[in-house]
Chains A and B, each alone.
Chain A
Amino acid sequence: MSQTSDAREKPLSIVLEKCAKTFADGTRALEPVDLAINGGETIVFLGPSGCGKTTTLRIIAGLEQPDAGGRVLFDGEDVTNLAIEKRNVGMVFQSYALFPNMTVAGNIGYGLRIKGWSKADLAKRVTEMLALMRIERLADRAIDQLSGGQRQRVALARALAVRPRALLLDEPLTALDARLREDLRVEIDDLLRSLNITTIYVTHDQAEAMALGDRIVVMQQGRVAQIGTPRDIYQQPANAFVAEFVGTMNKLSGRVEGGIFVTAGGRMPWPEAPAGATRVMFRPEDVSIAVSDGHLNGTIASLFFLGDRVRLFVDVGDAQPIVIEASNRRKLSRGDRIGLSVDPRSFVAIDH
């Protein structure tokens, strides 16, 4: 049999049915969650600390049992009571969790050794994985002689070596510095696309989520707040929490008067305003600085030079200043009065 070829059968689909989790100490970590993950899809769990991302991931892995009534299905088959060692899922942790008593090659080959692969097949597969992660030089190194980025590569290689049915990653890049995180993220993205493996990726970094996810599951206090493509999540947030957690969102309060949203800073045309709207939200990139007077007028409260652009906080008489970004060619300074106009098509109406 050709154990070392990478031909893979159809990728695994995963379904969670009413999976809730209450810990022994009474902590309610997860309200009943329903979720369907398609085969080959990369799905990202995104949310603030403590919202239940890890708990959900561990239920899928088999490290945690859902409360009675919850079910986990792999390709339609109920695996709720199947132990993790029988589920064949690859796991990657933020802390790497590499075996300190084994070399890099020993770590990568561990799962294959457990499965009883022959020495020759095992060596071949390990070499393959080392090449895939571009860490051939490190094969005989001890774990404590590796940098963080190298460790995470080894962890990925170890998880993938056994050809898992799904890959589960819990904040794999959080412990790395920004530059390295970016590089590895791109690499992981390429890897996942080429492997066509069902992947669940946990992060609280929304940029990472946007870049990696086919779909994003935004979680809030043990609940799923929204599921959708990165574009959906960004452009049509389901509620104020999602709107504010993902990217930067400006909000203004006021009232609608015949297609015009009237607010402290001015009058903004809004033809499609829902009746009785008292709040409007929009992204910084949908705001442009008007030549003369804009729909909205205010004073620059503070400004930050970002290199390629300038970020401005503009006080328009509302409780919070609005955030906009401008080209760095403009001569702007604190205290300047400026006019702004906002594309009404970008308005998001969320009233709660």
Chain B
Amino acid sequence: MRRDTSLLFLLMLPAAAFFTAFFLLPVVHLALVGASGKDGAAAYSAIVTDANYLRALIATLGISAATTFLTLVISGFAGVFLQRNVFPGRSALVAMLTLPLAFPGVVVGFMVIILAGRQGLIGTISQALTGEKVVFAYSMAGLLMGYVYFSIPRTILTVMATAEKLDPKLEEAARSLGASTLRVVLDVILPGLKPAFISAGAICFATAMGAFGTAFTLATRIDVLPMVIYTEFTLQANIAVAAALSLVLGLVTWAALAVARTAAGSTVAAAG
């Protein structure tokens, strides 16, 4: 028995060492660095006391929530549809929809610019049609579009995998009891997809909170927290604040996910 335990301990050692070296030590160090600035531990409260930081935090939370919500709505419909309908070109479509998985955030940002930038497709078309050039690549809308585009593949795949396991008999039972299509969706399909929504939504939210490449490429007029951290760190050399903000970003994201997971109440909770 004792040998088993020590063997287990031995086998755990590499993982423990890895965890300590690449997670525990940096985080502890980060926490110390965060408190090492001229304001000491007050750097941590700056995120709520400093209007700029607070605005960035709220904007980041907002855009992440919106990204999660939009992604779940779009992928929910598309995933169930793709899983249930067989048509020519279906697998090609699925492959295309999941393509963004392979793109780094910078490329996604670049694509948003091509689509909605000053020389973008949407601008050109809208100018030809209405004489007014629609440009939203550099605003929150552009960022949102990039994030959603980036989040859809994973979510669609999760939804499709879960939709495949839904028992069609449940829907038939509901219909035999008089349920309309809408009621079937609300009472049977959505509850069935809830686990997928919670897990995919959580990943989606966390990714959006920490995404940097897309925001960086779209640069102008956007203040999300990862951008603020970057600016503090490289341009202002304000290492303590950058460290404090990073830690807060991590904690807030983690807390939001924990809430989403435990609040197994409604799917809306997961989307928030």
What's the minimum C-beta distance from B48 to chain A, rounded to whole angstroms? 39
Q: Residue-by-residue, is B172-193 near A (CB-CB < 8 Å gives 1, otherwise 0)?
A: 1111111110010001100100
Residues of B within 8 A of A63 (CB): 172, 175
Tell me if B174 and A83 are in contact (CB < 8 A).
no
| Contacts across chains A and B counted by CB atoms under 8 Å | 60
Which residues of B are found within 8 Å of A91, using beta-carbon distances? 172-173, 176
For the complex, count residues of B whose C-beta is within 8 A of A: 16
Q: Are B167 and A111 in contact (CB under 8 A)?
A: no
In the complex, residue of chain A having the shortest beta-carbon distance to the beta carbon of B172? A63
| A251 contacts chain B at the CB level, 8 A cutoff | no
Q: Does residue B2 face the partner (Cβ distance < 8 Å to A)?
A: no
With known contacts A110-B187, A114-B183, A95–B167 Cβ distance under 8 A: yes
| Most chain A Cβ neighbours within 10 Å, of B167, B169, B177 | B177
For residue B188, which residues in chain A have a CB less than 8 angstroms away from its CB?
Answer: 99
Q: Knowing A95-B167, A99-B187 are in contact, say whether A162-B172 is a contact too (CB < 8 A).
A: no
- List which A68-90 residues lie within 8 A (CB) of chain B: 83-90
Partner of B172, one of A87, A97, A111, A114: A97
CB contact list, A160-186 vs B, under 8 A? 162, 164
B101 touches A (CB below 8 Å): no
Is A158 on the interface with B (CB-CB < 8 A)?
yes
Q: Which residue of B lies closest to A162 (CB)?
A: B177
A44: Cβ under 8 A from any B Cβ = no
Q: Does A245 contact B (CB under 8 A)?
A: no
- Residue A29, interface by CB 8 Å: no
Flag whether B237 is at the interface (Cβ < 8 A).
Answer: no
Which residue in B167, B169, B170, B176 is a CB contact (below 8 Å) of A85?
B176
What is the interface size of chain A, counting residues whose CB is below 8 A from a CB of the partner?
26
Contact of A115 among B174, B176, B178 (CB under 8 A): B178
Name the B residues within 8 Å of A5 (CB-CB): none
Which chain A positions have C-beta within 8 A of B174?
Answer: 99, 110
Closest Cβ of chain B: how far from A200's Cβ, in Å?
13
Q: Mark A106-134, 1 if CB is under 8 A from B, else 0.
A: 00001100110000000000000000000
Decide yes or no whether A159 CB sits under 8 A from chain B: yes
- Provide the residues of chain B in CB contact with A93, threshold 8 Å: 169, 172-173
Residues of chain B within 8 A (CB-CB) of A85 are 175-180
A249 at the B interface (CB under 8 A): no
CA gap between A123 and B179 in the complex, in Å: 19
- Which of the residues B169, B178, B180 comes within 8 Å of A111, measured between beta carbons? B178
**Chain A minimum-CB-distance residue to B194:** A101
Report whether A97 and B187 are in contact in the complex, using a CB–CB cutoff of 8 Å. Answer: no
| Cβ of A342 under 8 Å from chain B | no
Cβ-based interface call for A20 (8 A): no
Min C-beta distance of A329 to chain B, whole Å: 50
**Bound complex: CA A245 to CA B57 (Å):** 73
| CB-based contact B175/A83 at 8 Å | yes
CB distance from B270 to the nearest CB of A (A): 15
Is the CB–CB distance between A114 and B178 below 8 Å? yes
Contacts of A61 in B (CB 8 A): 172, 176
- B170–A97 CB distance below 8 A: yes
The verdict on A90 contacting B176 (CB below 8 Å), with A101-B191, A110-B187 known, is yes
Q: Are A97 and B169 in contact (CB under 8 A)?
A: yes
Mark interface residues in B154-167 (1 if CB within 8 Å of A CB, else 0). 00000000000001
Closest-CB distance, B271 to chain A (whole angstroms)? 18
Q: Tell me the complex Cα distance, A111–B175, Å.
A: 9
Given contacts A111-B177, A162-B178, contact A99 B172 (CB under 8 A): no
Is B178 in contact with A88, judged by CB distance below 8 angstroms? yes
Which residues of the other chain, B, contact A95 by a CB distance below 8 angstroms?
A: 167, 169
Whole-angstrom distance from the CB of A73 to the nearest CB of chain B? Answer: 19
CB-based contact B176/A84 at 8 Å: yes
Question: Chain B residue with minimal CB distance to A24?
Answer: B86
Q: Which residue of B lies closest to A116 (CB)?
A: B178
Q: Which residue of B lies closest to A83 (CB)?
A: B175
How distant is the Cα of A50 from the Cα of B11 in the complex, in angstroms? 53
Contacts of B183 in A (CB 8 A): 114
Q: A61–B139 Cα gap in the complex (Å)?
A: 54
For A115, the chain B residues whose CB sits under 8 A away are: 178
| Nearest residue, chain B, Cβ from A91 | B176
Residues of B contacting A89 in the complex (Cβ-Cβ under 8 angstroms): 176
Known: A85-B180, A110-B187, A114-B183. A97 touches B167 (CB 8 A): yes
Query: Closest 5 A-B residue pairs measured CB to CB?
Result: A111-B177, A97-B169, A101-B191, A91-B176, A97-B173
Q: List 15 A-B contacts (CB under 8 A).
A: A61-B176, A63-B172, A84-B172, A84-B175, A84-B176, A85-B175, A86-B178, A97-B169, A97-B170, A97-B172, A99-B188, A99-B191, A101-B191, A110-B177, A162-B177
Given contact pairs A91-B176, A159-B177, a sample of 16 additional A-B residue pairs in the complex whose CB atoms are under 8 Å apart: A61-B176, A63-B172, A84-B175, A84-B176, A91-B173, A93-B169, A97-B170, A97-B173, A99-B170, A99-B173, A101-B191, A110-B177, A110-B179, A114-B177, A162-B178, A164-B176
Q: Which residues of A contact B (CB under 8 A)?
A: 61, 63, 83-91, 93, 95, 97-101, 110-111, 114-115, 158-159, 162, 164
